Structure 1
Amino acid sequence: PDHPTVTTPGAPTGKVAFEVTRSKGFEGMAMSPDKTKLYAMLEGPLVGADGAKEADAGVDYLRVLEFDIPSRQWTGKFWKYPLAAAGNAIGDFNMIDATSALVIERDSQEGTKSAACAGKAEPGCFDKPAQFKRVYKVEFSPETAGQAMRKVGYIDLMAMKDPDGKAKQGTTAGVLDFPFFTIENVVVVDPTHIVVGNDNNLPYSAGRAPQKADDNEFVLLEVGELLKAK
């Protein structure tokens, strides 16, 4: 952990008391439609003194903390975002309305499956291509504080329909994928559309082609059914 109040011991076997692991602090922050609350979501689960991650019934979860803007104080309320798989992380978190939001949940792999290695790992293919990239719609309210957010539905960013080939790149046989390590933007445009974007970590991320720096891509998606889903 990188924090001025955390002192590391002088012996390699010594333990350090902390709850947030490196690079697993605040990642997504949503604002309530009335602009009175912020909801800050951690990128990874908190850990206990024994090193175990926070989980409910074996399912790792991320905390979402509520901040009151007028008083400039944390309210003490929080919700649990259940991860679909251990080791997943979130990329962005934005509200749809007062009680529902969109969350990008992803694995930590990159690379399109169409360029996956057939056998031995080689420079010209992806040894471990991306598998899990989704945008979830979740539901929560003041009455459910302390409980798990309800996952209403999701869209699979690895299998987006593009029958007319509108995407500038990445469409194969009418299907567009988004095989990037860090997909970090989701915004509601109108009642039926959202925009999703990636961070290319220039020059380090390579998801479209092996050993070739990615572009920053933005995709406009028609997802009216997801936005209306209850």
Structure 2
Amino acid sequence: MVHPRVDVIFPCLNEEGSLPWIMSRLPEGYRAIVVDNGSTDRSAEVAREHGAVVVSESRRGFGSAAHTGLLAASAPIVAFCDADSSMDPADLPLVVDPVERGDVDLMLGRRRPTSARSWPLHARAANLALSFLIRRRAHVDIHDLGPMRAGHRERLLALDLQDRRSGYPLEMVLRAKAEGWRIEETDTPYTERVGRSKVTGTLKGTVVAIQDMSRLLREVRRP
């Protein structure tokens, strides 16, 4: 693929089991950028074998991996997606198409679990509380800070995002709101992941994510 329409960033830590399926589900015109965030398995090799661009980021953290992918992208539209098979890349047009049409500046995928095991109860409760705080403090009408999202590459870079841990997705929304972006969300199916989540799959990971995001919300200026 010489000139992809969309670059899709997949932060990756030990996801060799899910990558073949993930790569096979990309729509035409979409290019995968897999950011290896210190994997100890064959994630990088598997991703390359299935046609992905692979870049490495040694600094651990979701934000570190996601931002490295953004810097490596060259397509006009950039999307983000988890690499654990919890989201189907075939659904990416749900968040990409409205951005390409110019209807919205940042489109978020609102996760809709397909089974009771898709989304751990503690993670779902934390997301509900966080979404409420985002609506209340930042006045962004969203109900999920989901990992599937899309925006224009140059405008995303201009946001100058600084968080390199779990707060990166929230910082993107908050800075986009401050810049007057049109932010919307659309339903996206959410299934049981392959392996355990590095962020919300454990209580410790959930607590760290809440701490990172709470700090960002405290910095929001009330109107």
What TM-score, normalized by structure 2, do the two folds share?
0.29
Higher relative contact order (CA closer than 8 Å, sequence separation 6+): 2
Q: Is the strand fraction higher in 1 or 2? A: 1
What TM-score, normalized by structure 1, do the two folds share?
0.28
Greater radius of gyration (CA)? 1
